[in-house]
Structure 1
């Protein structure tokens, strides 16, 4: 047997913001009071009565205040304002006018409910540009800073920047057809809420673009002049590179080392002089001691002398022929 589903069973709505509930409760209370007053006066107590009254009050406001618009809403629109969804600001104002309530209060409650239902997106951290040196790099840096701004439209940025930067000028700058001035660039960064670091990076890159590229590498002659100048500076700085002054103990050790080193040099020179004198005897004739010393040295040196030393310059005499040779 088919069963008819229970129409009264509905899924529970999720938790709604308290601000939206406060707006709906305020509108419902004003609607109840207005319809009760209409019923007491013999008028139809329904939403169409609220819609007609909102239109009549808005028409009078047009005549008195010079407003360009009036509140033309339907009864269905006013009924949907209490179904749990956030109505539009215009509907909330029309509801307040039809119920004879304060329009400013309705506008304040609606703004709080709208902020709770539609919270602003979380803003990313401001972008800090790098070291750009070209106009195209400046445009790319400004585009990245603009992406992280709370409001990215050209109209919103121009309004926040003030008279220093118009919408058309900002369009030409971001299109790469115009290089901004430092004041315009600072106004753009302030409109984007870029922060001190991003503003300083943009202005530094702007100065690099205006200063132009670095000078070319110097010619060889200029390079030689630069090397000579560098050498003169190094020579002038050498006195600062001298050894520091020693205290009395370090100076004493240094002097002792110098004396020992000089003594060794003197002994080595004395020994070299003795050897030179022994190698070149006096022409008067060697003494018996010197003759004996030279004989011993010759006896020691002879076995170690190579065989070819005996005939270099004077070949050895041939052996006498044997008895069997002709």
Structure 2
């Protein structure tokens, strides 16, 4: 629904009294400009007022359309209000005061959230995220307002690059940014601590012996905590232990028999010498050896 339709239907929201006072003052100044225009033999039209405002300097240059829109019910800009006062011979201080009151009524200050205190961060991206969170809790979150409060060392364009993570701030810029956002001492200290950590990097490992022992002990504790399923091998019960002892005794018995047969084989080879007889004796001993092993009891 348009403004005119809302006015006809009686649904137009009530405007603030401060805005009505400002518009009434502007209309009164336009009426006062009629006498000035008559003295010059002209009519007090909007082009005439725009010409008078532009003659006062470049900071007052406005168009006739802009001056006309200053009386249409919306809040004009401060520059238009001051130019209107200048063109009609009004007091500029009064124009600024009335406009400030109307601006506070039309744009009431937002409820500021609780100040944000950054946690621990170790990267440049983390610093940019922390700065954006701090900015969200500032009284005025616009880049222009923060840059104006931060001072000449931090312009709006530089602030935009810092918040986007495209530029790394200096400690002075970071301090000015926190002050402009009214972040508080705790948030400022957290930002600067993270800034120093990023610049200096992680601390070097300790080189003294006690430090090495402490690191080894910490690693051992971490390994034990991460692998609780590792445990010592359980001791065998009585039956398993007896069975192992029997297997070990049988193995030792077979080993002694094998050594005795090998000694007997060597002695027989030395007595018979090379030839068919020795080969027959060797074959017989091998058969005996294999037979004994087959006859040996198993475990």
Compute the TM-score of the two structures, normalised by the length of structure 1.
0.50
Bigger CA radius of gyration: 1
For 1:108 and 1:195, how far apart are their aligned partners in 2?
A: 31
Shift of 1:159: 4.1
Which of residues 62, 70, 95 is equivalent to 1:71?
62
Cα 1:70–1:137 change in 2 (3 A) is: closer
1:316 matched residue in structure 2: none
2:48 matched residue in structure 1: 53
| Secondary structure, aligned partner of 1:27 | helix
Cα 1:43–1:150 change in 2 (3 A) is: same
Aligned-residue CA RMSD (Å)? 4.2
2:205 matched residue in structure 1: 215
Structure 1: gaps (5+ residues): 1-7, 228-326
Cα 1:123–1:71 change in 2 (3 A) is: same
| Secondary structure, aligned partner of 2:187 | helix
Shift of 1:197: 1.6
1:26 matched residue in structure 2: 25
- Give the count of matched residue pairs: 210
2:194 matched residue in structure 1: 205
1:147 matched residue in structure 2: 136
Q: 1:126·1:194 contact (CA, 8 Å) conserved in 2?
A: yes
- 1:118-170 superposed Cα distances (whole Å, 9 cap, x missing partner): 22333322211112233433232222212323444555544433355466765
Alignment of 1:123-142 (within 5 A): 123-142=112-131
For 2:71 and 2:160, how far apart are their aligned partners in 1?
A: 44
Bigger helix fraction:
2
For 1:178 and 1:38, how far apart are their aligned partners in 2?
A: 55
Q: 2:60·2:82 contact (CA, 8 Å) conserved in 1?
A: no
Shift of 1:199: 0.9
Compute the TM-score of the two structures, normalised by the length of structure 2.
0.54
2:78 matched residue in structure 1: 89
Structure 2: gaps (5+ residues): 1-6, 218-299
Alignment of 1:232-251 (within 5 A): none
For 2:162 and 2:72, how far apart are their aligned partners in 1?
A: 48
1:194 matched residue in structure 2: 183
